[in-house]
């Protein structure tokens, strides 16, 4: 990137908004997935939509790829820079623009931290429902890109359920407004397409969120089972009884040991731990909690604790929320994977994971959002042992193949990013991916917005897979493709 | 109209059996536009191939489910081939343990709900005319009712889709699991696209358990301000209602309807809280027994129920003097919206009835001479758009002068057109029917 362009960038964001010295750029060379690293040519820190537009227009004119970045907590390498490209950090666009309690809407800039949305509305007894484990640091813009989930999306839905409108700078620098504060605005649901598109369709500069009234009461129950199979059977029992808990989380023996070592959550030492949270009107929750208790006992739970106070509930969650980091206590290195299976396939998939673990001589700890079948297998390894990192990576992908074979998905909330794009062709057929690619080309014909992510082999827009076959109308000379 | 050549007819007949293709009758016309043939593919592959053949011949294809909402949207600019999904109606898999269902597009909502109910489950939507409406049609028209408040719109319930693109590509996206962020969310893209991007051939939905018990109440209020006050207070409360709507008209006093689902004990507690509300607001509360038709079972009694109010709007005798529009406003603009409708309708001598959900979505019927309806709708749309809302016309008198069904998509129109062009470059599917002439 020549000096002329750097100077042009500088004229947009000022000296303080441009980072281009190699030592400072290292901060941005990766996101939460640290085994991929690329140094960007520059990092820009715009503070307004107009600045984002100017930057993107310049990128468009000069054909410079750009990667938008929130807090950099992503776990699939979605914010990994592109060589010869720039990083657009939205950290300075962190204002809450509007709080509208009667309509339960909050309008934010992309750099606003997830938990700060709840912080702004909790005095009125509202909250922002999506709660990824990183919610105290991750940004709403990043949540939108990844369609972030969390433990409570079983009942409340994902980021996409809570985004009503977007202001987006398209990859040619033009500004569009998708959706709005009201529902069902005329046109295609492009908000639905944009959320979860991992930064490949443009840059969101304003986000209209829906907030939720806090339920009257919340109760959490902890149940200890001999193995995850019995715990899984209890989950099926709860669902079959027609209940929709706010969250159902499960941990296996290794994950429990790690959590105990790290935060002393005082979890029972067992083979499968279930955490069930119910919320709603008091009478309703109490009636259902009794039933959950019975279902757990009849499926072999030997210890059940119900958190009676908010403090007890926080303690119950403490071990679960710390689980990923806690694994660092029992292993020097580990890979966090993110697969999804139909809930009923749980015992079979757990068996497969155990078999793969044995065959590969690597330990796997399991933490799941059991209610929606979202598994987070943690593959433990030691980087210092030659070949073990590759073996661990290979094992984590084999687990994803097991998920696909069970009718599931390669990612429930972390995104495809850089890490799993090679798995996309195992989950989707060529026509499926080609169709998604067509949508991408409608937004970004030059493929400048996070160009190397999500899809296995980036194709140019207009290029068709396989042999090119002219449309009969073209052959007849009646029309030509634009 | 492009005449369907003998060659193309032969090609279609090579894909379809003799009883799957027939000349279209006048009853098959769409907003007065007469197609030439009707085809009824029985497999996704047949459908995709037939679509490709039509696309190659630059025919206009109109997808059709139960035809219950075929008049929604603008009249097609061209219509050659009606593509019916009637034979593509299998329930492929009800994975009840996983609370999901995979179903082909032509299955009616009623049939689907009956099958799901065998395992105590439902697709938590209450669309219009479930006995006729199909999965594909309900998705394409984004038709949801009162239950949307609690369970979300179709976009929130669909987790996977297979579509046939105009060029014959069969593409799937999403999957069979509720939580899934792999690839673009195309199920949402085609929901509400009125069949202009591709023909939905199958969908996967997340399901909800049927309620153990449900109870609904009607609250009588004296004016729209009071209605707004109570509705916002209920929304701001800890009540866990699943539906909340208000009804207004030129003549009658407003009423509010609220629905609860849950355990008997839970319902008793909620009912008493609601009574407290009404007492402090000095409004009268009455329990009503009929429940939404698709909540408990599809064959519920036909006795008058507030939850049939949306369907009831269509029970007019003279289609030439009635218009029905879907409006969208902010929930806290309820009273302002009702006043606006009153001020627009009365000088035009248009009689009106409005059903407004607590989500801010509403259904408005106007009755009067076509010219007056046109004037009223034009003014109303302009005013609602100024408030950040919208108005889409679903039914209008055949003799009413041209009126765009959708209203303005704002600055997103070029992007909407780009998406359309990438997926259906020759405008084969439902040409001219959607927003901005798409």
3-state secondary structure chain B: CCCCCHHHHHHHHHHCCHHHEEECCHHHCECCECCCEEECCCCHHHHHHHHHHHHHCCCCEEEECCCCCCCCCCCCCCCCEEEECCCCCCEEEEEHHHCEEEEECCCEHHHHHHHHHCCCEECCCCCCCCCCCEHHHHHHHCCCCCCHHHHCCHHHHEEEEEEECCCCCEEEEECCCCCCCCCCCHHHHHCCCCCCCCEEEEEEEECEECCCEEEEEEEECCCHHHHHHHHHHHHCCCCCCCEEEEEEECCCCCEEEEEEEECHHHHHHHHHHHHHHHHHHCCEEEEECCCCCCCCCCCCCCCCCHHHHHHHCCCCCCHHHEEEEEEECCHHHHHHHHHHHHHHHCCCCCEEEEEEECCCEEEEEEECCHHHHHHHHHHHHHHHHHCCCEEEEEECCCCCCCCCCCCCCHHHHHHHHHHHHHHCCCCCECCCCCHHHC
Confidence of residue B4 (pLDDT cuts 50, 70, 90): confident
Confidence of residue B14 (pLDDT cuts 50, 70, 90): very high
Q: Is residue B418 part of a domain?
A: no
Mean pLDDT for chain B overall: 93
**Domain CATH for B151:** 3.30.465.10
Residues in A closer than 8 angstroms to B415, CB to CB, are 170, 176, 190, 442-443
Domain co-membership, B343 together with B243: no
pLDDT of residue A460: 66
Residue where one domain finishes, among candidates B163, B184, B209: B209
Q: How far is A370 from chain B (nearest CA, A)?
A: 11
pLDDT of residue B265: 84
Nearest by CB to residue B415, choosing from A147, A442, A479, is A442
Statement: residue B284 has pLDDT above 70 = yes
- State whether B189 and A177 contact (CB < 8 Å): no
- State whether A149 and B191 contact (CB < 8 Å): no
Interface of A with B in 152-211 (CB under 8 A): 153, 157-158, 160-161, 170, 174-178, 180-190, 192-193, 195-197
Residue where one domain finishes, among candidates B309, B336, B366: B309
Chain B contact probe: residue of A156, A169, A192 with most B CBs at under 10 A: A192
Domain co-membership, B220 together with B268: yes
- Give percent of chain A above pLDDT 70: 95
**A426 class by beta-carbon count within 10 Å (0-12 exposed, 13-18 middle, 19+ buried):** middle
Statement: residue A54 has pLDDT above 70 = yes
Domain co-membership, B103 together with B72: no
Q: Which two tokens stand for residue B104?
A: 């082909």
- Bridge partner list, A304: A223
Domain co-membership, B203 together with B106: yes
Q: How far is B407 from chain A (nearest CA, A)?
A: 7
Where in the sequence is the domain holding A304, given as residue range(s)? 216-259+268-319
**Domain CATH for A387:** 3.30.70.2740
Domain co-membership, A208 together with A122: yes
List the single residue in A with minimal CA-CA distance to B170.
A431
Q: Which two tokens stand for residue A115?
A: 């938990």
- State whether A342 and B421 contact (CB < 8 Å): no
Interface predicted TM-score (ipTM): 0.96
Domain co-membership, B203 together with B99: yes
Residue where one domain finishes, among candidates A73, A89, A105: A89
Q: Is residue A445 part of a domain?
A: no
Statement: residue A459 has pLDDT above 70 = no
**Range with the lowest mean pLDDT among A83-92, A194-203, B157-166, B292-301?**
B292-301
Statement: residue B300 has pLDDT above 80 = no
**Residues in contact with B261: Cβ distance below 8 Å, sequence separation at least 6, in sequence order:** B211, B212, B213, B214, B242, B267, B295
CB-based contact (8 Å) between A429 and chain B?
A: yes
Nearest by CB to residue A161, choosing from B156, B175, B192, is B156
Q: Is residue B174 part of a domain?
A: yes
Domain co-membership, B162 together with B238: no
CB-based contact (8 Å) between B156 and chain A?
A: yes
List the single residue in A with minimal CA-CA distance to B265.
A283
Distance, CA of A380 to CA of A333 (rounded, Å): 6
Domain co-membership, A171 together with A226: no
Statement: residue A359 has pLDDT above 60 = yes
Tens digits of residue pLDDT in A297-334: 999 999 999 988 888 888 888 888 888 888 888 899 99
Q: A326: number of CA atoms within 13 Å, CB side?
A: 22
Mean pLDDT for chain A overall: 92
Mean pLDDT calculated for residue range B22-38:
95
Q: Which two tokens stand for residue A273?
A: 């731990």
Tens digits of residue pLDDT in B116-150: 999 999 999 999 999 999 999 999 999 999 999 99
Tens digits of residue pLDDT in B46-95: 999 999 999 999 999 999 999 999 999 999 999 999 999 999 999 999 99
- State whether A342 and B100 contact (CB < 8 Å): yes
Statement: residue B229 has pLDDT above 70 = yes
Residue where one domain finishes, among candidates A213, A231, A248: A213
Domain co-membership, B97 together with B183: yes
Statement: residue B279 has pLDDT above 50 = yes
Other C-beta atoms lying within 10 Å of the C-beta of residue B10: 9
- Bridge partner list, A166: A178, A207
Domain co-membership, B138 together with B202: yes
Distance, CA of A74 to CA of A134 (rounded, Å): 9
Q: Is residue B270 part of a domain?
A: yes
Helix (H) or strand (E) holding A97: strand A96-100
Q: Please give the tally of structural domains in chain A.
A: 4
Tens digits of residue pLDDT in B239-248: 999 999 999 9
Residues in A closer than 8 angstroms to B331, CB to CB, are 102-104
**Which one, of B135, B143, B133, lies nearest residue B68 by Cα?**
B133
Domain co-membership, B112 together with B188: yes
Tens digits of residue pLDDT in A377-427: 999 999 999 999 999 999 999 999 999 999 999 999 999 999 999 999 999
Other C-beta atoms lying within 10 Å of the C-beta of residue B421: 16
Q: Give just the sign of the alpha carbon dihedral A464, A411, A93, B412.
A: positive
Q: Is residue A451 part of a domain?
A: no
Distance, CA of A430 to CA of A323 (rounded, Å): 37
How many A×B Cβ pairs under 8 Å? Answer: 273
Domain co-membership, B48 together with B136: no
Q: Give just the sign of the alpha carbon dihedral B105, B110, B111, B114.
A: positive
Distance, CA of A313 to CA of A306 (rounded, Å): 8
Distance, CA of A252 to CA of A259 (rounded, Å): 11
Eight-class DSSP state of A46: -
Q: Is residue A459 part of a domain?
A: no
Confidence of residue B296 (pLDDT cuts 50, 70, 90): very low
* B267-B273-B275 Cα angle (round to 5): 105
3-state secondary structure of A382: coil
Domain co-membership, A192 together with A108: yes
- State whether B179 and A153 contact (CB < 8 Å): yes
CB-based contact (8 Å) between A236 and chain B?
A: yes
Q: How would you classify the pairing of strands A42-44 and A86-89?
A: parallel
**Domain CATH for A289:** 3.30.70.2190
- State whether B183 and A416 contact (CB < 8 Å): yes
Statement: residue A476 has pLDDT above 60 = no
Residue where one domain finishes, among candidates A89, A119, A137: A89
Nearest by CB to residue B184, choosing from A408, A427, A436, is A436
CA distances A477 to A473, A480, B168, Å, are 6, 7, 21
pLDDT of residue B291: 52
Domain co-membership, A232 together with A283: yes
Residues in A closer than 8 angstroms to B120, CB to CB, are 242
Domain co-membership, B205 together with B103: yes
**Range with the lowest mean pLDDT among A198-207, A335-344, B186-195?**
A335-344
pLDDT of residue A458: 59
**Is there a contact between B345 and B353 (Cβ–Cβ < 8 Å)?**
no
Q: How far is B312 from chain A (nearest CA, A)?
A: 22
Q: Is residue B317 part of a domain?
A: yes
Q: Is residue A452 part of a domain?
A: no
- State whether B176 and A242 contact (CB < 8 Å): no
- State whether B416 and A239 contact (CB < 8 Å): no
**Which one, of A107, A102, A130, lies nearest residue A120 by Cα?**
A107
- Give percent of chain B above pLDDT 90: 86
CB-based contact (8 Å) between A341 and chain B?
A: yes
Q: Is residue B414 part of a domain?
A: no
What burial letters (b/e) apply to A435-473, b meaning 16+ CB within 10 Å?
bbbbbbbbbbeebbbbbbbbbbeebeeeeeeeeeeebeb
First vs last Cα of chain A: how many Å apart? 31
pLDDT of residue B437: 95
Domain co-membership, A107 together with A208: yes
**Domain CATH for A45:** 3.30.43.10
CA distances A150 to A231, A247, B183, B188, Å, are 20, 9, 19, 21
**Which one, of B70, B60, B49, lies nearest residue B3 by Cα?**
B60
Q: Is residue A403 part of a domain?
A: yes
Mean pLDDT calculated for residue range A163-185:
98
Q: Which two tokens stand for residue A220?
A: 């959490």
Q: Is residue A103 part of a domain?
A: yes
Q: Is residue B375 part of a domain?
A: yes
Interface of B with A in 26-65 (CB under 8 A): 56-58
Q: How would you classify the pairing of strands A364-369 and A247-252?
A: antiparallel
- State whether A454 and B183 contact (CB < 8 Å): yes
Q: Which two tokens stand for residue A28?
A: 């941005």
**Domain CATH for B356:** 3.30.70.2730
**Which one, of B315, B327, B312, B338, lies nearest residue B393 by Cα?**
B327
Q: Is residue A310 part of a domain?
A: yes
Interface of B with A in 96-155 (CB under 8 A): 97-100, 120, 142, 152-153, 155
- State whether A409 and B180 contact (CB < 8 Å): yes
Nearest by CB to residue A438, choosing from B100, B183, B422, is B422
**B194 class by beta-carbon count within 10 Å (0-12 exposed, 13-18 middle, 19+ buried):** buried
**Domain CATH for B255:** 3.30.70.3450
CA torsion B358→B363→B365→B370, rounded to 10°?
140
Domain co-membership, A372 together with A361: yes
Say what the pTM is. Answer: 0.95
Domain co-membership, A7 together with A47: yes
CB-based contact (8 Å) between A470 and chain B?
A: no
Residues in B closer than 8 angstroms to A473, CB to CB, are 56, 58, 426
List the single residue in A with minimal CA-CA distance to B196.
A188
Tens digits of residue pLDDT in B175-216: 999 999 999 999 999 999 999 999 999 999 999 999 989 999
List the single residue in B with minimal CA-CA distance to A188.
B193
Question: How distant is the alpha carbon of residue B361 from its chain centre?
Answer: 12
Distance, CA of A235 to CA of B186 (rounded, Å): 30
Statement: residue A482 has pLDDT above 80 = no
Q: Is residue A106 part of a domain?
A: yes
Confidence of residue A479 (pLDDT cuts 50, 70, 90): very low
Interface of B with A in 286-345 (CB under 8 A): 326, 328-332
Nearest by CB to residue B269, choosing from A146, A281, A433, is A281
Where in the sequence is the domain holding B113, given as residue range(s)? 91-209
Residue where one domain finishes, among candidates B146, B178, B209: B209
pLDDT of residue A240: 85
Q: Please give the tally of structural domains in chain B.
A: 4
Domain co-membership, B305 together with B323: no
Interface of B with A in 344-373 (CB under 8 A): 359-361
Domain co-membership, A166 together with A120: yes
Q: Quickly tell me which residue has 């099926």 as its tokens.
A: A236
- State whether B56 and A343 contact (CB < 8 Å): no
- Between B293 and B206, name the one with better pLDDT: B206
Tens digits of residue pLDDT in B387-409: 999 999 999 999 898 899 999 99
pLDDT of residue B310: 96
Domain co-membership, A79 together with A8: yes
């Amino acid at each position: 990137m020549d000096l002329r362009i750097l100077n042009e960038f500088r004229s947009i964001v000022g000296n303080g908004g441009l980072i281009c010295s190699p030592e400072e750029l290292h901060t941005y060379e990766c996101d939460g997935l640290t085994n991929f690293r690329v140094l960007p040519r520059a990092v820009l820190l715009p503070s307004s939509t107009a600045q984002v537009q100017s930057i993107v227009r310049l990128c468009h004119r000069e054909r410079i790829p750009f990667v938008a970045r929130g807090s950099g907590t992503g776990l699939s390498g979605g914010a990994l820079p592109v060589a010869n490209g720039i990083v657009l950090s939205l950290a300075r666009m962190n204002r809450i623009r509007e709080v509208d309690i009667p309509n339960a809407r909050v309008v934010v800039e992309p750099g606003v931290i997830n938990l700060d949305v709840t912080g702004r509305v909790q005095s009125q007894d509202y909250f922002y429902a999506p709660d990824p484990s990183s919610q105290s640091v991750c940004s709403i813009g990043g949540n939108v890109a990844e369609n972030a989930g969390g433990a409570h999306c079983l009942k409340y839905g994902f980021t996409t359920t809570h985004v009503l409108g977007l202001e987006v700078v398209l990859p040619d620098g033009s500004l569009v407004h998708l959706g709005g504060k009201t529902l069902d605005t005329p046109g295609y649901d492009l908000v639905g397409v944009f959320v979860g598109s991992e930064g490949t369709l443009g840059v969101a500069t304003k986000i209209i969120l829906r907030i939720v009234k806090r339920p009257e009461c919340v109760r959490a129950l902890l149940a200890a089972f001999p193995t995850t199979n019995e715990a899984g059977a209890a989950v099926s029992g709860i669902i079959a009884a027609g209940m929709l808990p706010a969250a159902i989380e499960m941990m296996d023996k290794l994950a429990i040991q790690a959590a105990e070592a790290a935060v002393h959550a005082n979890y029972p030492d067992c083979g499968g731990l279930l955490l069930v949270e119910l919320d709603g009107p008091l009478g309703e929750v109490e009636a259902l909690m009794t039933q959950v208790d019975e279902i757990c006992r009849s499926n072999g739970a030997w210890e059940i604790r119900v958190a009676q106070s908010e403090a007890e509930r926080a303690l119950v969650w403490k071990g679960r929320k710390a689980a990923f980091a806690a694994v660092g206590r029992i292993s020097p290195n580990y890979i966090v994977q993110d697969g999804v299976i139909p809930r009923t396939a749980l015992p079979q998939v757990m068996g497969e994971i155990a078999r793969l673990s044995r065959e590969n001589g690597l330990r796997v700890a399991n933490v799941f959002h059991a209610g929606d079948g979202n598994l987070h297998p943690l593959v433990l390894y030691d980087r210092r042992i030659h070949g073990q990192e590759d073996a661990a990576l290979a094992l984590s992908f084999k687990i994803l193949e097991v998920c696909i074979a069970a009718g599931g998905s390669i990612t429930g909330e972390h995104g495809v990013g850089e890490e799993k794009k090679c798995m996309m062709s195992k989950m989707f057929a060529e026509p499926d991916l080609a169709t998604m690619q067509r949508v991408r080309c409608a937004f970004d014909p030059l493929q400048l917005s996070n160009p190397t992510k999500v899809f296995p082999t980036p194709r140019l827009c207009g290029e068709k897979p396989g042999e090119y076959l002219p449309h009969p109308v073209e052959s007849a000379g009646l029309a030509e493709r634009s | 109209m492009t005449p369907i050549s003998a060659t193309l007819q032969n090609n279609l007949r090579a894909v379809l059996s003799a009883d799957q293709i027939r000349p279209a009758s006048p009853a098959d016309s769409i907003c007065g536009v007469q197609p030439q043939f009707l085809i009824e593919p029985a497999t996704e592959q047949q459908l995709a191939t037939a679509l490709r053949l039509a696309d190659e011949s630059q025919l206009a294809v109109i997808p059709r489910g139960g035809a219950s909402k075929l008049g929604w949207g603008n009249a097609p600019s061209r219509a050659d081939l009606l593509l019916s999904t009637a034979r593509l109606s299998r329930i492929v898999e009800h994975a009840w343990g996983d609370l999901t269902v995979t179903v082909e597009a032509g299955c009616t909502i009623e049939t689907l709900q009956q099958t799901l109910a065998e395992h105590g489950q439902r697709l938590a939507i209450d669309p219009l005319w479930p006995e006729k409406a199909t999965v594909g049609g309900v998705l394409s028209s984004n038709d949801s009712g009162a239950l949307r408040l609690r369970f979300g719109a179709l976009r929130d319930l669909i987790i996977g889709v297979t579509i046939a693109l105009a060029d014959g590509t069969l593409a799937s996206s999403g999957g069979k699991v509720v939580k899934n962020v792999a690839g673009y969310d195309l199920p949402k893209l085609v929901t509400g696209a009125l069949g202009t991007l591709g023909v939905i051939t199958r969908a996967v939905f997340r399901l909800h358990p049927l309620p153990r018990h449900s109870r609904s109440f009607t609250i009588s209020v004296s004016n729209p301000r009071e209605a707004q006050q109570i509705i916002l207070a209920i929304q701001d409360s800890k009540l866990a209602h699943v539906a909340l709507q208000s009804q207004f008209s030129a003549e009658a006093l407003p009423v509010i309807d609220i629905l609860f689902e849950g355990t008997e004990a839970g319902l008793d507690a909620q009912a008493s809280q609601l009574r407290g509300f009404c007492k402090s607001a000095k409004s009268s509360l009455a329990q009503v027994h009929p429940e939404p038709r698709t909540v408990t079972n599809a064959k519920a009694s036909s006795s008058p129920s507030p939850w049939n109010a949306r369907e009831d709007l269509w029970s007019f005798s003279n289609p030439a003097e009635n218009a029905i529009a879907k409006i969208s406003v902010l929930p806290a603009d309820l009273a302002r919206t009702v006043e606006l409708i009153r001020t627009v309708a009365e000088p035009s001598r248009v009689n009106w009835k409005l059903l407004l959900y607590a989500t801010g979505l509403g259904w408005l019927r106007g009755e009067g001479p076509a010219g007056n309806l046109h004037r009223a709708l034009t003014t109303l749309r302009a005013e609602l758009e100024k408030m950040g809302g919208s108005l889409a016309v679903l039914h209008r008198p055949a003799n009413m002068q041209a009126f765009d069904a959708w209203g303005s998509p704002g600055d997103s129109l070029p992007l909407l057109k780009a998406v359309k062009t990438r997926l259906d470059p020759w405008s084969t599917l439902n040409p001219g029917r959607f927003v901005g002439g798409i």
